[in-house]
Every structure is written in structure tokens, then in C-alpha cells.
Amino acid sequence: MSRIGVFTCHCGENINGTVDCGKVAESARGVPGVVHSVDYKYMCSDPGQSLIKEAIREHRLTGVVVAACSPRMHEPTFRNAVAEAGLNPYLCEMANLREHCSWVHEKGEATTAKAADLVRVMVEKVKHDQPLQPIRVPVTKRALVLGGGIAGIQAALDIANAGHKVVLVEKSPSIGGHMSQLSETFPTLDCSQCILTPRMVEAARHPNITLYTYAELEKLEGFIGNFKATIRRKARSLDEKLCTGCGLCTTKCPNKKIKDEFNEGLATRGAIYVPFPQAVPNKPVIDKLNCTYYKTGKCKLCEKVCPTGAIRFDQEDELVTLDVGAIVLATGFKLMKTDQFPEYGYGKYKDVVDGMQFERLASASGPTAGAMKRPSDGKAPETVVFVACSGSRDRSKGVPYCSKVCCMYTAKHAMLYKHKMHHGKAYVFYMDIRSSGKDYDEFVRRAIEEDDVSYIRGRVSRIYEEDGQLIVQGADTLQNGRPVEIKADLVVLATAVQAQDGSEALAQKLHVSYDPYHFFAEAHPKLKPVETNTAGIFLAGACQAPRDIPETVAQASGAAAKVAGLFSRDELTREPVVAVVNRLPAPTFSYCVGCFLCQSACPYQAIEQEQIKARDGSVIRTLAKVNAGLCQGCGTCVATCRTKAIDIQGFSNEQIFAEIMTL
Amino acid sequence: MRIGYYPGCSLLGSSREFDESTRAVAEAIGLELVTVPDWNCCGASSAHVLDHQLSLALPARILALAEAAGLTELLAPCAACYNRLCSARTELEADPAAREAISRIIELPYQGRVKVVNILEVLDRCQDRLKAKATAPLGRKVACYYGCLLVRPPRVVAFDRPEDPMSMDRLMVLAGAEPLAWNHKTECCGAAFSVTRTDLVARMSGRIVAGAAKAGAEAIVVACPMCHSNLDMRRPECNALLQADHQLPVLFITQALGLAMGLDPVRLGLQRHMVPALLQPAAAGAKA
Amino acid sequence: MTDTFEPKITAFVCNWCTYAGADLTGTSRIKYPSNVRVLRLPCTGRIDFMLLAKAFARGSDGIIISGCHPNDCHYTSGNYHARRRWMVYRNLMDFMGIDTSRITFSWVSAAEGAKWAELVNEVTEGIRAMGPYTEYQELAHAGVE
């Protein structure tokens, strides 16, 4: 005997402005099985929730339908309220009258009729709902942090300091990320390495953190609290226990012509190398693609000179499998390269560089030891032009979004240049100045007022090389679009921030959503910025969207807090929306015939075999059985089963047929 | 091999040598040019400035006539005609209602089945035949000037790299010349301002001529009658403004290739140029 | 004013991608016709042939099936199963005489609010042009008094 209560929410004017909530409540009253139907302004508020709780008690309700916003918004809210009133929370469903109705249709009869329909659908579903008990699973209190830049380091330190184990995985030979390549950071002009390296060392030394560098995630299985991650530790060709980090091998390598990634191609390195002097770990790696020995079988000089015999040419990649309970994605970003700009020379002009390359030029540990020398001939550039928004905010040829950090770092670059070359001339071509952080606008004003940087509002239409200089053709829109032509010695393009290479593949491995630009998707743009739609996987830093250092650190700490929250319990309760194979008394036992098609369809290997035995021990039947701990409730098995022996609690065949029947 | 041919007004008028040289080269490599019967002016710059429908109807009529004549492709050597034909075709392809309207105006069924190609594309296809016939390599340093209409707008013409095209350069290599890397390949020459604002053309074309000369070019090679006219006919104005005396000749791509194939310079129309262009191809590798 | 035919469209969508995408359409306030009724499923892999047949038997004039893009399924492979099954269901439907052009199979991700609206618009207008679908109902009720 169903006794359903229907509660229609006005959501202020959000629903009631377009849908006649009174009529919806009225129509619900007429549905067989509904004993109570009211409407109210804000169902999710305290008084609203009390309405529901009281009604459950007063009318002895066996099921509740809240017709309001999307269940993705408030299903947990109402299920909690219902549970507090003593009704099983899985007997509460929501009809989506807001995102799927009032917000997308015009006011009118048709819209109200649709709302009434949606309510009827959910009433039918609730009539067939079973009271379910949450499933409890243990939580592995170890976190996996993917990415060893400032985001990953901060998250790892915070989680480790909260008392939990962390495995920090970084794909390059050292942690530090892009922040380690910067010379000084805005708005304080702090030396980047000086503030970063103590954290890097702390992360390496922390007793709770295991550092795997030169390693990548190979495979991920499992679910929140119970992930199984396989990490590939690429072969360094080095016995790390014997290596003392003396660096002799790196000085002796004869093959020194390889483009140095850390210096953005402005310098070269050997085949055996340490990415930068403050690298953590400070142990070299052999670049197998470029090493003479690996390519031709000759050389091995490094092996000969190594005082401890640490070189291991035969070393293979190692696969490590870990049990982890939560994952933090902190894989960072990459910069668009100068060869993406046809108007600026297709990347062929050596003196047209991107922002990171300028950082290396300005850096005391860079290829010019911080002296302003341009890449083509080493001459000190007397005139430098900075072009902001290169590739960003460009719907036709670049990316439509703003890369956020360029206005600030362009001002910074111009200031660094002027500090090193007082008599040099610096020009910035800009569209807008976006300097909204704390002390940010004052920083940009400093560049203009104290360091005499000329800001020209306009785009650069073309750059070409003539007589050893770069002719920059732009316009000054604040002077009626007057054409401006500057003969520059060096041009720095503030190129667009993009998602890291391999982001799409990584997202697919983790079942995390991503946007068209391959930035990872947060669960809610406003209220869940550090979670993803995949339970147990969190986001930190620029892998989610272009971001500066203060925000990255804040977000990383936020992700760490979520992980610590997850780990604060020994057990996780999971939604009981799982599949169940039916069981009947002997001699039928089940509709299941033991074909195990469901087993091959299941993505989680959650179907097991169960043998029904007679009293003498002989096997009568082998039937399918669902491991509720592994089942994620997708329902693929249900559609696969030929005899309809398996069904999902919460989305059963009966329920869906009942929903269809109301339409 | 045959292809539809649309000379357009300029090739029968002030740029007659472009038509002459194109026909000469086509004959030499066995390419049959089938002129569209009863062709009309494409509208060039005036039509699209004055009336949108007219700017669609004029090229549409040409394409409809070409289709009726059984042609699948139409070569328009004049870059402006090429650009107008491509623009009209692109716009009509996306808009069935416009196609219907235009068909009524031109009193012919417009189906959009004819593809529009430019001279560089066609010559590029005939690379092997050109190479076989290039018996008198030019041995000169040349600056290939593309102008704007052949490569822009990129989504309409979809041809070569808009900022640093190389198709003409590759053809000049076939002709035994040395195409130079220079900075004004796609800069505007001043276009139709030739008459109304000759001072602007003097400045813009002057820059191009000076740039070519600076790069060490002995000749400029073009594929557009307007560019040719501005760089050649307006040379005195350019030189006056630059206070220089640049005498490097301006050749159409078909003229340059024709010379490399040993064809008679007069047949290629080289005597029609303002800046003397009756140069002899130097022996391969010899300096000018 | 003439009565325009208002088709009944039933949409079977997956919770993680299309349902979320449709939510985004709502938050972005993009409007689309109100003929569609969305039924939430955990995954498109859950979709059975009988659900589709039942929807037609109950008077739906058109059906939309929509889930996550290939490679992005929250449950890894549910949408692949759905896609493969769809090929088989189509054959069955053709054999039975069900008009398969009334079913649209699509991928809409959680970020594609505008695409969902476009899809609903397209399908609603398409089904409206096709007119009401009564043949299957007649078939299903044949012999039942």
C-alpha cells in the first residue's frame, strides 16, 4: 500500500515564475498512491525540510517525491532530511523541475503540464523503490598525487602533515615544475627557486611522502577509498642507492648538443643530465633517445668515470602497484609555442621568444646567467617589445579563453628587463590589463610609472626580420588606431596557457571529465572547484584552468583538505545502487542460467561465480553473483542479461517501466 | 588534360600579357583551356562594395555557365576574379535559400558543382610536365610576390600558408630560379587605389619594390594583374617617393615559366611591361 | 489558430554526462521545446530493447538516447555496450517494422549544455515534421480488446 508524499518547491521564482506550482501539487494529489501533496517556497530550507519530516510522521508516508531542482543538486539534502524522520533515504526521489523544466521553457500550460508529468514519473518510480542500506567499504589511507610542481608539492605536504601517507609521482626527472623555471615571481619579485626549493626538499625528506620521479601513471583501477594504481618508474639507467650526485658523468658526456627542455631550447645538455642544479632528487638520468650508447652501442664514458659505479645501462622500467584511497591531479600546464603564430614568423625568428624562454634568459641560473642577451647573436637588446594575449582570447586562430597570468608576468618581464638594462626601451602591446589579485594592480602601475615601460593598447599584426632587427607592426587604439612600427631587438610573446600534453589520455585513464581544451573538469564551477565528477579524484592547479601561484597553492591545500576529510574515517559509506542477481527457492534457485555474459560486460569485474551445492557437496548450479563492494551500479549487466535475472536497486526494470507507463 | 578557363576583364585588357603567357604555357604542357561561353565580368571590387546580391549573382552566373558547359573546374588566373568566385561559391554553398534566389536572378540553375582554382594550384599539378619542358633555367634570384587575394581570407580560398606561402616559390625552383626569402610576400600593394590614391600605392608598392631589391632580387614574380599593375605601371611614382631608381622587372608567373621553357618573350607579352622586362635568362648559376 | 502537433519525446539519458549536460543547459538558461521527458539512468549501458519498445507502445512519437562520448564513460565501457546494442536493436526494429528514424542516438557530455538544447530542438522539430507515431501502438495492441 503506497502512501507517497509530494512536495513541490517554488525555489523562489526560479520554478514558480515559469511553472504553476500550485497546479503541479494539485495534479499530484490526483495520482493513485499519493496521500499528501503540498507546495512551498524553499523546500531545501530548514522550514521546508521540516514540512517533509512532519508529513512523514503525520501521514505515515512510505515514499517521498521532492519536485524541485536537479537531484545532482539536492538529492543528498532531502535524503538526509527523510532519514532524520525515520524513513529510509532511498525511498526519496527528486523530480527535476528547475534545470530540466522551468529554466529551459517558456511560461505556459505546456511547461506546467510537463512539470506535472515529471512529478508523476517520479511518483511511479518511488512506488517501486526498495529501502536500501548503504554499503560500507574500507578506506586506504594513502594518497596519490600526480604531478610534482608547486600544486602537487603543496598538496602532498599538506596531506603528509595531516598524518597520512602520500605517493608523489612526477614524470620529469625532478620535481619543481614550471615554477622552478621562473626567475622571479609577481607581485613580490621573490626569487622563484628560493621560495620553491625548500618545499621541494621538504617533500623529498618528509617521512610520509614517497617520491617517484621520472615516473608516470600506467593504469588505474578501483574506486574511491580503494584505488589500485600502477606506476611506471622509467629507467634512469642509474642505481640511485650508489649515486652520490657528484655530477661528474654529466660533465664528461661527449654528446652535448641535445636541446635542453629546462632552458626551453635556449641551451643544450648532455645525454646524461640533471635537469637543473637544484633538482630534487639531485641524481642524473640518461636520455635513452639521444644517448650514443643506446643508439649505437658505443661510448659508455659516464660508466667509466663514475666513482661509485652507479651507471646501469641494462636497467629496465619498473612497474609498481599501489593501493591508494584518493588521487590529486596536479599535472600543470604547457605554453603555446611561437611556431603557432604565422604572423610572427612561424617560429623561425630566434629572437621572437615565449614567456618561459624569457624567464630562462632573465634567470641567474639560465643560459645567459641572467644577463640580457638575445638568442640569435648574444647582443644586449636595446629595445624589447612584449606582446600580450598571443593566442589567448582569439576565437579564430587561438583559444577563446584568457590565460590569466600573462598581464602580470608581462609587466614583471618588462620590469626585470628595465632593472637589468636601465637605458633600454620596453614596449608592451596589450588589449586589457587583468591584474585583479592582491597588490597586482599596484605592481603593473610600478612598471609604467617607476620603470618607464611604454604600454600601447593595440594588437601586433606582423613581425618580420630586417637587418638584424625585428620589425613589429601594430596599432595604437587609444590614438585612433594609428599604426605603430617598432624596430625591436627582442620580442617576447605572452603565449596562451594550455593543458599539458597527454591530458586527454590521462583523463580517460582516470575516468575524469575534461573540457574541449583538455583542462580537467571540476564537479561544479562555483561550489566544487577541487573535486571532479569521479569520486575520490581531486584537482589542484593549472591542470584545471590557467592559474597563478597563490591560487594554485590555495587550491592544492583545498584538495589536500578534501583528501584529509576522506581519510578521517576508517570506512566509507557507498551508495547502494548496485546490481543484484535474483535468488529463488529450490528447485529454480534463480532466473540466472549461468551464461556469465554479465561478467564479460562488467567493467569492474564485479560479477563472481557462486556454486549452489546439494547436501552431499555436488554442484547443482553455478550462478552469477554481484560483489556489492566492486559494483558501481552502471547497469550494463542488466541490459545484457537474457533472462532478466539481474537487476539494479534504484534503477530496476520495474521502476523504469513504471516511469515510462506514466508518460 | 582540360580545364575550364575564365580570363576575366583584366586579362583581355590591361593585363593581356597574363592571358597570352598563360595560353602559351598551357599549350606547351598540353593543357587545354576551355573558355566559359558567354562569360561576364565577375564584379571585381565594385560589385561587392555596392550590392551584395549583385556580388553573388555575377560570379554565380559564370559558375552556372561553366557547369552547363560540362566543366568541373574553373581556372581564373586573375587573383581578384579568383577571390570573388571563391567568395561567392563559399557563401552560396552554405545557404540553400540564397542559391535559389540567385538562380532566379541569373535565370540559370546554380548547383555549386564547379570548383574554383587559381593559376598556382593548376601549375603545381603540372609540375612534372613543367620540369620536363624547363630547358632554359632562369638562373636568377627572384622575389615571389603573392599579394593578398590569393591567400586571404584563409577559410574562403583555403590555399597555401596565408602568412608565408610557398607555392610560387616552388614553381620558380622548377624554373631554375632562386626564390628568395623576403619580408613582403603578402603585403598589400595598394590595390584599386591605383587611380584614386596613387600616393598610397606609391608608398605601399614602393615598400614592396624596395624590400625585393634589398633582398637581392633581380625580378619580382607575381600572379595578380592588379599587383603587376601597381608594381610595374606605378614604378615611376614609387621610385619618386623612395628617391631611388629600382629597375627590377615584374613578371607574371606564367611569363617566368614560359621563359624557362624557352618560349619566345614576345609571345609571352614581355614587351608590354612598363619596366623593361625583356631580359635573357642567364645560364644556370651565373650571376646577373 | 491551427493546432500544431506536439510530439511526445522520451529521452533515456545517462546520469553522468547527458543528465549533467542537461542540467547545464538549465543553469545557462538556454531554452528548448518542452516536449521532451527525461528519464535518468545510471548509464546508457542500462538501456534494454524493451524500454524503447515500451516507450513507443505508450505513445512516444520519438525517442532520444544519449550518453557519454566514446572513451569518456563514467563506468568505462557502458556506452560502448550501448552503441553496439543499438546496432542490433536497429536491425530488430527494422525487422519488426518500427520506424528507426524516430530514435536518435547521441553523445552529449556534461560540459555540452548548448548541444543538448540543439539536440532536443532538432529532434522535436524532426518528429513534429514526421507527425504522430501510431503504427507501433496499433501493432502492440492488436488482438487486445
| Confidence at A187, pLDDT banded by 50, 70, 90 | very high
C-beta atoms of B164 and A465 within 8 A: no
- A636 chain-C contacts, CB cut-off 8 A: 43, 45-46, 75, 77-78, 81
Q: Do B163 and A346 touch (CB under 8 A)?
A: yes
DSSP A296-347: HS---HHHHH-TT--B-TT---EEEEEEESEEEE---EEEPPGGG-GGGTTT
* Segment A241-270 mean pLDDT: 94
CA distance B183 to B185: 6
Q: Which domains does chain B have, with CATH numbers?
A: 2-119 (1.20.1050.140), 135-272 (3.40.50.11810)
B164–A342 C-beta distance less than 8 A: yes
Position B282 scores a pLDDT of 55
The pLDDT tens digits of the residues spanning A219-251 come to 998 888 999 999 999 999 999 999 999 999 999
- Touch between chain B and chain C: 3 or more Cβ pairs under 8 Å: no
CB nearest to B183's CB, from A343, A346, A464 = A464
Cα separation of A149 and A174, whole Å? 9
Burial, A299: exposed, middle or buried (Cβ in 10 Å; 0-12, 13-18, 19+)? middle
CATH of the domain at C82: 3.40.50
Look at residue C81 in the predicted model and tell me its pLDDT. 85
pLDDT in tens, C40-93: 988 888 888 888 988 988 889 999 999 888 877 777 778 888 888 888 888 888
Of A608, A524, A655, A590, which is closest to residue A130 (Cα–Cα)?
A655
Greatest C-alpha distance within chain A: 99
For residue C62, being part of any structural domain is answered with yes
- Let me know: does A570 contact A182? Beta carbons within 8 Å: no
* Residue range B187-199: mean pLDDT, rounded: 91
* Chain A residues within 8 angstroms (CB to CB) of chain B: 342-343, 345-346, 462, 464-466, 471
Instruction: Indicate the average pLDDT of chain C.
Output: 86
Domain count, chain C: 1
- Taking the Cβ of residue B163 and every Cβ of chain A, the question of whether any pair is shorter than 8 Å is answered with yes
Does the structure show a pLDDT above 60 at B71?
yes
C2 lies in a domain?
no
The span from the CA of A66 to the CA of A69, in Å, is 9
B279 band by pLDDT with thresholds 50, 70 and 90: low
- Identify the pLDDT of residue C69: 86
| C59 lies in some domain | yes
Model pLDDT, residue B259: 94
Give the confidence band of C3 by pLDDT, cuts at 50, 70, 90. Answer: low
DSSP annotation of A522 reads P
A125-153 exposure pattern, b = at least 16 Cβ within 10 A, e = fewer: bbbbbeebeebebebbbbbbbbbbbbbbb
Residues of A in contact with C77 (CB under 8 A): 601, 603, 636
**Closest A-chain CA to C74:** A511
CA distance C44 to B106: 52
A64-73, A154-163, A401-410: which has the minimum mean pLDDT?
A: A64-73
* Mean pLDDT calculated for residue range A466-475: 95
Q: What is the mean pLDDT of residues A297-322?
A: 94
Contact call for A70 and C48, based on CB within 8 A: no
pLDDT digits (tens, 9 = 90+) for C131-145: 888 887 777 777 665
Q: Express as a percent the part of chain A with pLDDT over 90.
A: 75
Please choose, from the candidates B70, B61, B115, the residue with its C-alpha nearest in 3D space to the C-alpha of residue B93: B115
Pick from B7, B12, B14, B50: nearest CA to B195: B14
Q: Which domains does chain A have, with CATH numbers?
A: 4-132 (3.40.50), 142-230+319-332+502-571 (3.50.50.60), 248-305 (no CATH), 335-498 (3.50.50.60), 579-661 (3.30.70.20)
Tell me the whole-structure pTM to 2 decimals.
0.80
Q: Is residue A653 scored above 80 in pLDDT?
A: yes
Complex prediction ipTM:
0.86
pLDDT digits (tens, 9 = 90+) for A8-59: 999 988 998 899 999 999 999 999 999 999 999 999 999 999 999 999 999 9
Q: Which domain holds residue C89?
A: 9-138
Cβ atoms of A300 and A202 within 8 Å: the answer is no
DSSP string, A424-447: -EEEEEES-----STTHHHHHHHH
User: Is residue C4, in this structure, part of any structural domain at all?
Assistant: no
pLDDT tier, B284 (very low <50, low <70, confident <90, very high otherwise): very low
B154 cis-preceded (ω within 30 degrees of 0):
no
Summary mean pLDDT of chain A = 93
C105-115 residues labelled b (16+ CB within 10 A) or e (exposed): bbbbbbbbbeb
d(CA B182, nearest CA chain A) in Å: 9
Using alpha carbons, select from A188, A234, A250, A281 the residue that is nearest to residue A548: A188
For C66, left (φ over 0), alpha (ψ -120 to 50), or beta? Answer: beta
Q: What pLDDT does B286 receive?
A: 37
C-alpha cell recorded at residue A439 = 597588490
**CA–CA dist A413, A416 (Å, integer):** 5
Question: pLDDT tens, A579-598?
Answer: 888 888 877 888 888 888 88
Residue C16 lies in a domain: yes
Q: What is the pLDDT of residues B231-271, one digit of tens each?
A: 999 999 999 999 999 999 999 999 999 999 999 999 999 99
C75 part of a folded domain: yes
Angstrom distance (rounded) from CA C120 to CA C126: 10
